[in-house]
């Protein structure tokens, strides 16, 4: 019986990108459904009634919600190819810790670089760089966070790369200047087809952020 | 050395050494009132793992804690063979995966695991903050809104219990599992909130299934010695409120 896999998503969502990358890594065929978040589909509301958010993976009619939970699910179901989490329990705990750290800190901080002004924006910029530097320390000299192979932490973090251009334009800074190791890692990830095909163009994201800023009365 | 190798005593010595080593191999930085610390303790108990509990004192963080969890500086931290693991749900996953020969904590089916993880995340991100919101609500209206929110989400958890347990005693089935641990750890603070707010949340009338489940959970051998008494926790809550309010002005 063939698997039916549907992804409810929204093109600029960094959380959605994680799932796209994971599915691509595993070579899973799926149907991509673009949601209009101002007009959520009945399917989305039925599949994620609690949070009403994307991404949602619908596998043979059953929904899985929350991007980090979806990525772990994908890794466990399609386990014969491209393992995303390490097999050692301690390394798995470390990978989960850093994804949790990214989830708790990175996105709020990134958002503040473009939706605040003045001192708040300055602080957001400093905080964002600090978070990236903490992650750089974890990476060390390894090619990927997991070591030799691209994995769970890399997948969870790389989507921010297509949003950096927008952050940099509005908060006036350069991630590459402050965090060269992070930038080198990001470019290495972008070499992978599973990543480059899952991330939208950074100019398109910039246009999206400009629209959001208009809506927030920041333009 | 030669004496130690005498057959009659050697196996006893090795067993004693192993037991002593085993206990100090596993340390848990924690505090008895913390529901998050309780998750780790229950999980270790499920696996029958001996551990040393190092209690942190309110208002100060030990050097070991700051060294082991420099990013968040929070308990619980599991230190296993000198390697730290942080974040309660990550610790529970680790315990389940490392001591894999003991009773399983996470369900075996990937979809069931995803569901259990979803609800545990819901508890941490939405439910427990809303419970704490009752105490910090300013004014009658805000308090009522906070109380209603907790009541609604508990009704949701009651439904979830019915769906996931499928007539069995626990969220995890025949024995306690990940979601039992993730939710059950909050029972003490739920009871304290009921006391201080005067509102009953988890009882026969409102949540009949969860009310029965709570009795079973608290009686479980892995839980009963680590679940604090409501009275003791209520006293601690008063102390915590005073501590947070700071010295009198």
What is the band of B19 on the pLDDT scale with cuts at 50, 70, 90?
Answer: low
- The reported pLDDT for the residue numbered A2 is 79
Q: Cα distance from A187 to chain B (closest Cα, Å)?
A: 26
Nearest to residue B87, comparing CAs of B100, B99, B78, B95? Answer: B78
- The reported pLDDT for the residue numbered A13 is 98
Q: Which residue of B87, B98, B113 is in closest CB contact with A97?
A: B87
Distances in Å between the Cα of A3 and the Cα atoms of A29, A48, A68 are 9, 20, 21
Q: Indicate whether B84 pLDDT > 90.
A: yes
Of residues B10 and B198, more confidence is placed in B198
Note the pLDDT tens digit of each residue in A207-219. Answer: 999 999 999 898 7
Nearest chain B residue to A70, by CA: B114
Nearest to residue B102, comparing CAs of B50, B46, B26? Answer: B46
**Pairwise CA distance, residues A186 & A190, whole Å:** 6
- The reported pLDDT for the residue numbered B241 is 87
Nearest to residue A194, comparing CAs of A166, A160, A158? Answer: A158
Percent of chain A with pLDDT over 90: 97
Section A18-23 average pLDDT: 98
Q: Indicate whether B34 pLDDT > 90.
A: yes
Q: Indicate whether A73 pLDDT > 90.
A: yes
Q: Indicate whether B2 pLDDT > 90.
A: no
**Pairwise CA distance, residues A64 & A47, whole Å:** 8
Q: Which residue of A64, A93, A96 is in closest CB contact with B114?
A: A64
- The number of beta carbons lying within 10 Å of the beta carbon of residue A103 is 16
A90 reaches B (C-beta below 8 A): yes
**Pairwise CA distance, residues A187 & A181, whole Å:** 10
Note the pLDDT tens digit of each residue in B184-204. Answer: 999 999 999 999 999 999 999
Contacts of A137 in chain B (CB under 8 A): none
Section A133-159 average pLDDT: 97
ipTM above 0.95, yes or no: yes
> Chain B residues contacting A, CB < 8 Å?
71, 80, 83, 85-87, 90-91, 93-94, 97-98, 110-111, 113-114, 117-118, 121-122, 156
- The reported pLDDT for the residue numbered B15 is 59
Q: Which residue of B94, B110, B117 is in closest CB contact with A77?
A: B110
Phi/psi-derived region of residue B37, left when phi > 0, alpha when psi is between -120 and 50, beta in every other case: alpha
What average pLDDT is seen over chain A? Answer: 97
Decide if A90 and B85 are in contact by the 8 Å CB cutoff.
yes
Contacts of A92 in chain B (CB under 8 A): 93-94, 97
Q: Which residue of A64, A92, A134 is in closest CB contact with B97?
A: A92
Contacts of A69 in chain B (CB under 8 A): 114, 117-118, 121
Section A47-68 average pLDDT: 98
- The reported pLDDT for the residue numbered A143 is 98
Which residues of chain A from 47 to 76 reach within 8 Å of chain B, CB to CB?
50, 59, 62, 64-66, 69-70, 72-73, 76
Q: For residue A209, how far is the Cα from the chain centroid? A: 16
Note the pLDDT tens digit of each residue in B52-68. Answer: 999 999 889 999 999 99
What is the band of B1 on the pLDDT scale with cuts at 50, 70, 90?
Answer: very low
What is the band of B14 on the pLDDT scale with cuts at 50, 70, 90?
Answer: low
Contacts of B91 in chain A (CB under 8 A): 93
Q: Which helix (H) or strand (E) holds B130?
A: helix B128-136
Decide if B111 and A90 are in contact by the 8 Å CB cutoff.
no
Section B70-90 average pLDDT: 97
Q: Cα distance from A94 to chain B (closest Cα, Å)?
A: 7
**Pairwise CA distance, residues B167 & B24, whole Å:** 40
Note the pLDDT tens digit of each residue in A157-184. Answer: 999 999 999 999 999 999 999 999 999 9
Q: Cα distance from A129 to chain B (closest Cα, Å)?
A: 15
Section A42-69 average pLDDT: 97
Contacts of B92 in chain A (CB under 8 A): none
Decide if A134 and B71 are in contact by the 8 Å CB cutoff.
yes
Decide if B83 and A89 are in contact by the 8 Å CB cutoff.
no
What is the band of B4 on the pLDDT scale with cuts at 50, 70, 90?
Answer: very low
Q: Cα distance from A29 to chain B (closest Cα, Å)?
A: 19
Nearest to residue B85, comparing CAs of B143, B30, B127, B158? Answer: B30
Nearest to residue B185, comparing CAs of B15, B46, B8? Answer: B46
Q: Cα distance from A71 to chain B (closest Cα, Å)?
A: 10
Contacts of B8 (CB under 8 A, 6+ apart): none
What is the band of A130 on the pLDDT scale with cuts at 50, 70, 90?
Answer: very high
Decide if A66 and B86 are in contact by the 8 Å CB cutoff.
no
- The reported pLDDT for the residue numbered B58 is 87
Helices (H), chain A: 14-26, 42-47, 67-77, 89-101, 107-115, 118-139, 152-157, 161-171, 175-178, 180-190, 193-196, 202-215
Contacts of B130 in chain A (CB under 8 A): none
- The reported pLDDT for the residue numbered A219 is 79
What is the band of B20 on the pLDDT scale with cuts at 50, 70, 90?
Answer: low
Q: Cα distance from A152 to chain B (closest Cα, Å)?
A: 14
Section B136-143 average pLDDT: 92
**A18 near A43, Cβ under 8 Å?**
no
Give backbone dihedrals phi and psi of A65, rounded to 5 degrees, phi first: -120, 160
Q: Which residue of B93, B110, B113 is in closest CB contact with A93?
A: B93
């Amino acid at each position: 019986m063939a698997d039916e896999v549907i992804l409810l998503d929204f093109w600029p969502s960094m959380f959605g990108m994680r799932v796209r990358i994971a599915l691509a890594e595993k070579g899973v065929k799926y149907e991509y459904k673009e949601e209009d978040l101002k007009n959520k589909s009945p399917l989305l509301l039925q599949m994620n009634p609690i949070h009403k958010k994307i991404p949602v993976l619908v596998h043979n009619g059953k929904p899985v919600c929350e991007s980090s939970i979806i990525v772990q699910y994908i890794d466990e179901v399609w386990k014969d190819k491209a393992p995303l989490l390490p097999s050692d329990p301690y390394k798995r705990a470390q990978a989960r810790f850093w994804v949790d750290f990214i989830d708790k800190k990175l996105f709020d901080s990134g958002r503040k670089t473009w939706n605040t002004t003045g001192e708040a924006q300055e602080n957001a910029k400093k905080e964002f760089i600090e978070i990236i530097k903490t992650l750089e320390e974890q990476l060390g000299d390894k090619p990927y966070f997991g070591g030799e192979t691209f994995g769970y932490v890399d997948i969870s973090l790389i989507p921010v790369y297509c949003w950096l251009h927008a952050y940099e334009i509005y908060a006036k800074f350069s991630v590459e200047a402050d965090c060269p190791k992070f930038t080198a890692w990001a470019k290495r990830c972008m070499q992978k087809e599973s990543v480059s095909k899952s991330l939208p163009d950074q100019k398109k994201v910039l246009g999206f952020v400009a629209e959001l800023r208009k809506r927030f009365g920041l333009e | 050395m030669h004496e130690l190798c005498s057959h009659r005593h050697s196996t006893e010595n090795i067993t004693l050494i192993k037991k002593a080593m085993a206990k100090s191999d596993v340390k848990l930085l924690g505090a008895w009132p913390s529901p998050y610390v309780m998750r780790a303790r229950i999980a270790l108990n499920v696996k029958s793992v001996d551990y040393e509990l190092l209690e942190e004192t309110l208002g100060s963080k030990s050097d070991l804690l700051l060294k082991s969890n420099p990013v968040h500086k929070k308990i619980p931290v599991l230190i296993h063979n000198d390697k730290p693991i942080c974040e309660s749900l990550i610790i529970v996953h680790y315990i389940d995966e490392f001591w894999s020969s003991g009773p399983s904590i996470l369900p075996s089916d990937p979809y069931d695991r995803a569901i259990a993880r979803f609800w545990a995340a819901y508890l941490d991100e939405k439910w427990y903050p809303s419970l704490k919101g009752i105490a910090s609500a300013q004014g009658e209206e805000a308090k009522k809104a906070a109380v209603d929110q907790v009541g609604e989400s508990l009704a949701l958890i009651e439904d979830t219990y019915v769906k996931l347990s499928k007539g069995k005693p626990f969220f995890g089935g025949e024995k306690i599992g990940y979601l039992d641990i993730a939710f059950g750890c909050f029972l003490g603070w739920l009871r304290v909130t009921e006391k201080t707010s005067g509102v009953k949340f988890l009882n026969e009338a409102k949540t009949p299934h969860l009310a029965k489940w709570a009795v079973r959970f608290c009686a479980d051998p892995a839980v009963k010695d680590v679940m604090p008494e409501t009275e003791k926790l209520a006293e601690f809550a008063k102390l915590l409120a005073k501590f947070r309010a700071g010295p009198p002005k």
